[in-house]
Amino acid sequence: MKITHSLLGLPRLYKRMISISVDVLGLCFVAILAIWLRFGESVFPVTDYVPAIFLLPLIALPVFITQGLYRAVIRYIGHKFAITVLSSVSLVCVIWAAAIFMLDLAYPRSAIVITWLLALFYISATRILARWLLSEGMIKKDLLARKRVVIFGAGSSGKQLLSAISKIPDLKVIGFIDDDKSLHKHDIASVRVYARDDLQGLIEDNAVSEVFLAIPSMSASRRKAVLEWLEPYPVKVSTLPAMDEIVAGKVSFSDIREVDIEDLLGRDQVPPQPELLSKCITNQVVMISGAGGSIGSELCRKVLRQSPKILVLYEMSEFALYSIERELRHSNELGETQLVGVLGSVLDAAKLRRIMECYGVNTIYHAAAYKHVPIVEHNIQEGLINNAFGTHIAAKTAGQCGVQNFVLISTDKAVRPTNVMGASKRLAEMALQALQLEYPDTRFVMVRFGNVLGSSGSVIPLFRKQIADGGPVTVTHKEITRYFMTIPEAASLVVQAGSMGVGGDVFVLDMGEPVKIADLAKKVIKLSGLELMDESGNGDIEIQYTGLRPGEKLYEELLIGENVDGTDHPRIMKAHEEYLAYESLMEEFIQLEASLNDYDYDAVLQQLARIVSGFEHTSGVVDYLQCGLLEGISNRE
C-alpha cells in the first residue's frame, strides 16, 4: 500500500499534525452527530450550538497532548493505551460539560452523554484503524519480507515466546502446534492452535519457513522424537534453551537458538549424585590443569559450585587463562573461594611442586593435553611429550607432594589406538596405573570418554558454517561413527568418577550409542530448512566425503578388555586394564624420549606398537619435522 508507506516515511511532527487534524474535525462532527441523535433528525443549521461544538476540540487537544495520546507509536498500542483513551476522553467531556454549564452555552444537556460515548468510540476507532493500516496493511505488502513461523508448544513457554516475537517486526506467528487435543482450534492471543497433521497445510497456505520448539522442559528423548517428525518438512527448526538456563537467568524466552546436536542425540541426562560431586572438592584445595580448555573450563565451573577453599587454575595459554579466570571472578557462585590463576606447563616439575606445596593441593583434575588427532600426527614429538611425559611429571609430583586425589581426563581414542594422540593418552593412563603402587597415599584415577559437544573442532559448528556458506558439507567417510556427550555432562561425570575407586582405576563413561557422522550431517541440513543435494544435482547442500585423515579410524571404542564392572552410578563403569610396572615403564619412556630427540619416528611407532595394547598405526609418518628433514637430506644428496 503506497499510502501506508508514505505515512510511515513522514517525519513524526507531520504524523502528529495529521492526528491532531483528524481529532479536531472528528470531535466537531461527533458534537453535531450527538445533537442529531438527541432530536432524532438532522438539525440544520446548527449555528446556535457552534460555540459549544468548537469548544470540545479546544479542550480535548491540551488534554490529549498531556496524556500522551500523540506520543504513542500507533503500530504498537496495547491495552494500557486503551485505558489512557478512556480516561482522557472522559476527562475532556467532564471539563466540556462544566464549561457549557458555567458559560450557559446552547447545547442539549442530554446530548453531552451521547457526545462522550461517540467521542470515546471515535478516538478508539481511529487509533485501531490506523494500527491496522500501518501493521496489517504492511503485512500484505511485505508478505515475502516477513518470516512466517509456527510455534510447537502452546503452553506457558509458547505464550511467552509469542509475546516476545510480537515485538519483532520481521516475524509473524501463523499458529501453534500442540499435542494436547483440548487446545486444538482454540486461539491464544488471536493465534490458532493446530494439531500435528495441520502443519503441512500451514506450510503450503502461509509460506511457513521455520518452526520454533517452545517446550524447554521437554525430555531429550521426546525432543529427539519431535525433531525426527519435523525432519521431512521443508522448514528450519529452532528451539528455546533448556529450562535450567532460563531459570538461572542466563537466557530468556526470546533467545531462540538453532537445534544442537544434543537435541538430535536424544540422550536424557542422569541427575548427579551430590555426595560424589562434593567429596573431593568442598572446603578443599583443588587444582585444574588445562583450566582454559573445553573440558577444563567446564570442570572449573562444576568445581566452583561445590565451594572449594582454593581453586588453582593452571594453564599454558595466557588468553585461555584470562578468559576462564575473568568468567569465574564474575560468577555468582564464587562465594568465599579463592581463585589462583597460574601460567605454566605440565612439564615444569619445579613449578608444579611449588604450587602443590604452597597451597596444599588436595585434588588435581588433569585436563591439559593435545587432543586433535591430525595435529598430533603432524607433531608427534610435542604430542607424546605433553600428553604422556607431561602427565607422568604432574602425577609423580602430586604423589611426592602428598596430593590425595589425581584425576586424569582420558579418551576413547586410547583404546586400541590407530593414532599417536590415542597412544599418548594410553601411555598417560599406564603412567598413573604404575604410579599407584609407588605412591599409595595418592589415589590416581583415570576417566575415559568420547567426543564432547561444543569443544574445539566439534562437527556441528563446522557443519553450520559450511551450510551458511552454501556448502558443501564435508564428512571424512560414509561409515565413520563417533560417541558424543555434552561438555556439562562429561564434566559432571568426571567429578563423580573421580570420587570413586581406591586408586589405579580406569573409569569409562557410558556414551550411549555411537552416531554416524554422515547421518548427523543430513539431519543438520534438513533441520536448517534445506534439501540434501542428490546425485543429479537437485537440492541445496551437497555432502562431500574427503577420506579419513592421518591417524583417524572409522569406529572408536571405550574399553580394551571385556573385564568390566559396574559402579554405583548408572553412567560410570570400571575397566580393568593391563599395565607395566613403574621401572619397566620408565625404561620405555627413556628410550622413547631418545627416539623423539633423534626425530626417529619409525622407531617411536615401533616402540608404541610394542608397549601400547592394540596400537596399530594406520597411516605413514606425516610429522612435519621428519618430512622436512628427509626432504632436506634428499636435496643435499
Higher pLDDT, 308 or 3: 308
Helix (H, G, I), strand (E, B) or coil at 363: strand
Specify the pLDDT at position 476: 85
What are the structural domains, with CATH classification, of the chain? Answer: 2-141 (no CATH), 147-259 (3.40.50.720), 274-451+484-511+557-611 (3.40.50.720)
Higher pLDDT, 115 or 441: 441
Q: What pLDDT score was predicted for residue 461?
A: 72
DSSP-assigned letters across all residues of 217-243: T--HHHHHHHHHHHTTSSSEEEEPPPH
Statement: residue 144 has pLDDT above 60: no
165 against 229, higher pLDDT? 229
Task: Please indicate whether residue 621 or residue 283 has the higher confidence score (pLDDT).
Answer: 283
Q: Which of 90, 96, 85 lies closest to 28, judged by CA?
A: 96
Q: What is the pLDDT of residue 243?
A: 46
pLDDT tens digits along 385-410: 999 999 999 999 999 999 999 999 99
Predicted local distance difference test score (pLDDT) of residue 478: 85
Q: Which residue has the cell 471539563?
A: 95
Lowest-pLDDT range, 215-229, 394-408, 423-437, 438-452? Answer: 215-229
Catalytic residue among 302, 413, 425, 523: 413
Phi, psi of 28 (to 5 degrees): -60, -45
**What is the model's pLDDT at position 246?**
44
Can you give the pLDDT at residue 234?
Answer: 85
CB atoms < 10 A from the CB of 384, how many?
A: 27
Distance (Å, rounded) from C-alpha 116 to C-alpha 551?
84
Percentage of the chain modeled with pLDDT above 70: 82
314 strand-pairing partners: 289, 342
Per-residue pLDDT, averaged over 510-521, amounts to 78
3-state SS, residue 509: strand
The pLDDT of 59-70, averaged and rounded, is 79
Q: Is residue 601 classed exposed, middle or buried when 0-12, 13-18 and 19+ CB atoms within 10 A define those classes? A: buried
Would you call 413 a catalytic residue per the annotation?
yes
Amino acid 555: pLDDT: 67
Question: DSSP class of residue 404?
Answer: S
Q: What is the pLDDT of residue 382?
A: 95
322 compared with 448, residue with greater pLDDT: 322
C-alpha pair distances (Å), 240 with each of 79, 155, 245, 310: 28, 13, 10, 36
Binned at pLDDT 50, 70 and 90, residue 206 comes out as confident
pTM for the model stands at 0.65
Mean pLDDT highest for which of 322-336, 479-493, 504-518? Answer: 322-336
**Which segment, 6-15, 48-57, 254-263, is predicted with the most confidence on average?**
48-57
State the residue for C-alpha cell 558454517: 465
- pLDDT (average), residues 601-608: 94
Residue 44 has pLDDT above 70, yes or no: no
Instruction: Name 62's Cβ contacts closer than 8 Å, sequence gap at least 6.
Output: none
Mean pLDDT (the chain) is: 82
